[in-house]
Amino acid sequence: ASLAYTILFCRVEFDNLQGGNNMARILGMGNPLLDISDNVDKELLDKYGLESGGIILAEEKHQPLFAEMAQRPGVQYIAGGATQNSIRVAQWMLQEPGATAYMGCVGQDDFAGTMKACCEKDGVKTAYMIDPSTPTGSCAVCVLGIERSLCTNLMAANNFKIDHVKEPANMDLVQQAKVIYSAGFFITVSTDSMKLAAHEAAKSGAKYCLNLSAPFLMQVPPFKAFILEILPMVDFLFCNETEAATFAETEGWESRDLSFIATRLSIVPMAKGGHRTVVITQGGDPALVAFRGHVTQHPIITLPKEKLVDTNGAGDAYVGGFLAALSKDLPVEECCKAGAYSASVIVQHSGCTFPASAPDYKF
């Protein structure tokens, strides 16, 4: 590791320890990735068999893509990974240093240093597990128009272990959080960590939140089996219209009606009492929220086409705003308003980024 990285790592860890008395209200657990983002043409997508709007895990044939993206003149490096995106947005919405925290596995390299610095600047506490033998994960974000294709190289992110969660300082984060969130992508990495967090949330009264994240998670039987296993512990379930339809298809529900799907997901029995809230986002259409079988619609903020820069991270940003409001014990209607606001800001920027200034939003 370079001297600069070592100094940065020590400084970030020291700052995080210094902020240790101010426990985070929201904890994210996921796959930290450095987004390598640029505008591309269809020729590049075709070269690597990528689809605009698609999300895939990188195979051997995709490996040259990452070097090719890194050499592009317009390339941007942004702290990413779905869960980390949502946590950073929630932190920006809350504007209280240390209100959020995040766990995931990174390497001991400059990519990790870049992400740590980004989170530190945003006010997010990092509790990264360090795997010195594996590079930090990255995601090629190929932007075509306002759509994007995501190709993920998990690398170190794939090596997260439950033992890291069980370390006393990290268990404190789990046990003192009011909201714990994972994107579904973490299912491919550490289901035992997710189960531990969900059971701790049940004990503490925290809200355990999960995102279905991508159709492949429901189409691969072991991943789908885990979703069904943990669903009775999930207080808030997020997905978009495609993921909702895929879930219904894999369950054999024979309906693509989103209100029907949201309702059925909301009434899957809880293992800990209470009732589940299901939130289905639909791009430019209102979000659907189902609770105890009752469905309500919640408007998003419609923007003129010329203001749309990049839809990458819009769903993550919606969740971030929603969770920020949820951590303040606000009703679902207010959570949806906060989500709509944060998503409307993020789509006006490249990648899941936001202005340096505070949000023009009052809880």
User: What residues are labeled active site?
Assistant: 316
CB 19 within 8 A of CB 114: no
Exposed e or buried b for every residue in 158-181, given b needs 16+ CB within 10 A? bbbeeebbeeeebeebbeebbbbb
CA angle 30, 289, 147 (to 5 degrees): 55
**Nearest Cα to 29, choosing from 265, 191, 270?**
191
Q: How many CA atoms lie within 13 A of 215 on its CB side?
A: 10
- Paired strand residues for 144: 147
The C-alpha atoms of residue 73 and residue 309 are separated, in whole angstroms, by 18
User: Do the beta carbons of residue 35 and residue 77 sit within 8 Å?
Assistant: yes
If you ran DSSP here, which 8-state letter would residue 186 be given?
G
Which SS3 state, helix, strand or coil, does residue 46 take?
helix
Give CA–CA dist 104/108, Å, rounded.
Answer: 13
What is the rounded CA–CA span in Å between residue 83 and residue 86? 5
